[in-house]
Amino acid sequence: MRAAITLEAASVGSWEHQKLLVREAEKMGLDICWVAEAWGADAVSALGYYAACTDRMLLGSGIIQLSTRTPVAIAQAAITLSNLSGGRFLLGLGASGPQVIEGLHGQSFDRPLPRMRETIDIIRQAIAGERIAYSGKQFQIPRLGSATKPMRLSMRAEHPIPLYLASLTPAMLTLTGEVADGWLGTSFVPEGADAAYFTHLDSGLARSGRTRADLDVCQGAEVSFASDDQHLKELIDSRKTELAFSLGGMGSASTNFYNQAYSRQGWSDVAAAVKERWQAGDREGAAALITDEMVLATTLIGTASMVRDRLQVWCDTGVDTVRVYPAGERLEDRIATLGAAIELVHSITRTGR
């Protein structure tokens, strides 16, 4: 398996700390550094900086959010980052959710699936060096009624640019299998992955005449190593408020893709109760409903042997790339955790699917 990390520039500290982290990660053998936007620093600027700080590892947008840029602007950023990094860039896209798209950016979150499909079509036109002409339900290029003509970008892509989609809903998972080179997943429980995720991915893959071997299954989770049982309990408990936020506070009152994902994997009652309490302002009560099982099922928390056993399960389920979020109070702690995680990921071999 390949080892990856997801960084959000705003959460790492100073730019000097970020430079130190990515350089150390590359020295330790990290394969991919994904950079998130969420509602903090933009990914594109950080990726350009990280490209200048590194030489070998791949760099990906994890994710550029739909509706925050036009499709052509995304293509321009992707080509620029790919060219300046010598072909090390991976384009990760995601629909995000209504709270970020509507509540922060003031754009409509309506119809994310056709918006994603049309965005990809336009991006691929631009990357291929074609004149960009598109007539869809979401986008019209050139603009309808305009006297302008289709244009092509003056800059050409010098390297292939693999496309990854972050998806959780059945329809978006199917689209991922149909059009993407990789899947950026989260809230992943390997024991329930077939029904919750792989059935839909495989359906999309079949549409394009491909199999799972043609898709990089890239899963993310927090990694933290426990020294003993008491420490393990502390680590589990510390994760519960964050998970309660994902189930109750991510998205809007009516649309929460994380809540839906946990519901499809066997925790529908808990997920509904957590959301209700969180929305009512009872955050402690919401966190108290999160079980130890829920935390351990979707993270890489435990002793080193526990984490290695869990990674083997992930690998045998079909995960190709493990995207870790290394825990630690200090930068030195995060680097140490990351180094140990990279070694464990690279030690895993697939025994079956």
Q: CB within 8 A of 80, min separation 6: which ones?
A: 48, 155
Predicted confidence at residue 87, as pLDDT, reads 98
Q: Convert 138-170 to b/e letters by CB count within 10 Å (16 or more is b).
A: bbebeeeeeeeeeeebeeebeeebbbbbbbbbb
Residue spans of the chain under pLDDT 50: 353
* Nearest residue to 134 (alpha-carbon basis) of 107, 111, 114: 114
pLDDT reported for residue 264:
77
Largest Cα–Cα separation, the chain: 70
Tell me which residue has tokens 């994904």.
34
CA-CA distance, 278 to 205, in Å (whole number)?
37
pTM for the model:
0.90
Contact criterion met (CB below 8 Å) for 273 and 329? no
Q: Decide: residue 224, CB within 10 A, 0-12 exposed, 13-18 middle, 19+ buried.
A: buried
Q: Whose CA is closest to 163, among 182, 177, 148, 144?
A: 182
pLDDT at 76: 98
Helix axes 43-53, 15-27, angle to 10 degrees: 60
How much is the pLDDT for 270? 86
Q: Which long-range contacts (CB under 8 A, 24 or more apart) does 341-346 make?
A: 341/3, 341/223, 341/300, 341/307, 342/3, 342/25, 342/28, 342/29, 342/30, 344/304, 344/307, 344/308, 344/311, 345/1, 345/2, 345/3, 345/311, 346/1, 346/3, 346/29
